[in-house]
């Protein structure tokens, strides 16, 4: 089983690498190839992750399994959005990230922290949380891309990569659309946590709860500032990256400390 899982995951990594190379080359023909390679990579990613995460003891949500699951969700969101939004260039960050999380999961194959059978409400909370994090991760990538585009245009020497991007205003509008959708999902994540988690402030959950609420507040203020004062440009980029950094600590900070540093489940 382990060998087959490694082969399938290796196929996903190779497909992601092919998609990245085609995206870097550019062009309509290579774009179709990139989307096809990415779709194949996502399918293999899902199969390999299913074999890794579904254990006799329950669903494994250890650090690297969770990271690989989040990266799969990001790839799927990227694929869906790429057909209707100018998101192609985000693949230059999304595809290597997905490949890297699979490599790390294979490298730490012995690190398994399965969850016992969970009630439906908790499963819903976990799913919504992963979707919220994934969408806001895409927004963070978009903010980095927007910052690079803005810097290049301000210094009046945009390269081929920057010239291939949509106009700055369209990129900024897309950023706030991503943040708005992510904020709704993050709100749903907090609500389902309040409803279905037995002790939201229990050990190992208190920091996640506090940081998630703090991140929700950052994104909420950013959206309010956009609506009330027309915040844009560097202000929007900084708030987006700041809010996502707090959310990243909330979702993976404790897992990193407990599983890798303290070696505890």
User: In sequence order, which ranges of the chain are alpha helices (DSSP H)?
Assistant: 2-25, 28-53, 63-82, 91-107, 120-154, 160-163, 168-196, 206-229, 233-248, 254-255
What dihedral angle (degrees, nearest 10) is formed by the CA atoms of 110, 111, 115, 120?
-100
On the question of pLDDT at 116 being above 70, the answer is: no
Residue pair 37/15 in contact by the 8 Å Cβ criterion: yes
| Domain covering 1-117: architecture | Up-down Bundle (1.20)
Where are the chain's structural domains?
A: 1-117, 118-265
- Those residues whose C-beta lies under 8 Å from the C-beta of residue 169, and which sit 6 or more positions away, are none
Phi-psi region of 85 (alpha: psi -120 to 50; beta: other; left: phi over 0): beta
At 248-260, the pLDDT tens digits run: 988 877 666 555 5
What local confidence, expressed as pLDDT, does residue 149 receive? 87
The Cα 240–Cα 219 span in angstroms is 7
Cβ atoms < 10 Å from Cβ of 265:
12
On the question of pLDDT at 99 being above 80, the answer is: yes
Backbone angles phi, psi at 54, to 5 degrees: -90, 100
What local confidence, expressed as pLDDT, does residue 111 receive? 61
At 151-185, the pLDDT tens digits run: 888 877 766 667 777 788 888 998 999 999 999 99
On the question of pLDDT at 226 being above 80, the answer is: yes
Mean pLDDT lowest among 21-30, 93-102, 106-115, 136-145 = 106-115
Residue pair 64/109 in contact by the 8 Å Cβ criterion: no
If we measure between CA atoms, which residue out of 52, 50, 54, 40 comes closest to residue 11?
40
Provide the whole-model pTM: 0.83
pLDDT tier, 53 (very low <50, low <70, confident <90, very high otherwise): confident
Q: Calculate the average pLDDT of the chain.
A: 85
On the question of pLDDT at 265 being above 90, the answer is: no
What local confidence, expressed as pLDDT, does residue 121 receive? 79
């Amino acid at each position: 089983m382990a060998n087959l899982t490694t082969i399938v995951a290796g196929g996903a990594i190779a497909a992601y690498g092919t998609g990245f190379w085609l995206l870097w080359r550019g062009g309509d023909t290579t774009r179709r190839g990139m989307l096809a390679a990415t779709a194949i990579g996502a399918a293999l990613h899902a199969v390999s992750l299913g074999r890794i995460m579904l254990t006799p003891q329950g669903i494994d949500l250890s650090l690297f399994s969770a990271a690989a699951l989040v990266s799969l969700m990001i790839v799927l969101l990227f694929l869906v959005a790429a057909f209707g939004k100018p998101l192609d260039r985000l693949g230059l960050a999304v595809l290597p990230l997905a490949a890297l999380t699979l490599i790390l999961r294979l490298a730490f194959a012995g690190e398994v922290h399965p969850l016992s059978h969970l009630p439906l409400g908790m499963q819903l909370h976990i799913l919504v949380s992963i979707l919220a994090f994934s969408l806001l991760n895409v927004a963070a990538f978009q903010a980095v891309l927007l910052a690079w585009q803005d810097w290049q245009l301000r210094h009046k020497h945009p390269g081929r990569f920057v010239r291939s991007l949509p106009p700055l205003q369209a990129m900024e509008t897309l950023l706030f659309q991503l943040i708005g959708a992510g904020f709704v999902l993050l709100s749903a994540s907090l609500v389902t946590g309040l409803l279905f988690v037995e002790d939201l402030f229990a050990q190992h959950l208190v920091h996640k709860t506090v940081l998630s609420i703090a991140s929700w507040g950052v994104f909420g203020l950013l959206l309010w500032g956009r609506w009330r004062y027309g915040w844009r440009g560097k202000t929007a980029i900084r708030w987006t990256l700041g809010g996502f950094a707090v959310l990243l600590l909330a979702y993976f900070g404790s897992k990193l400390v407990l599983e890798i540093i303290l070696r505890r489940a």
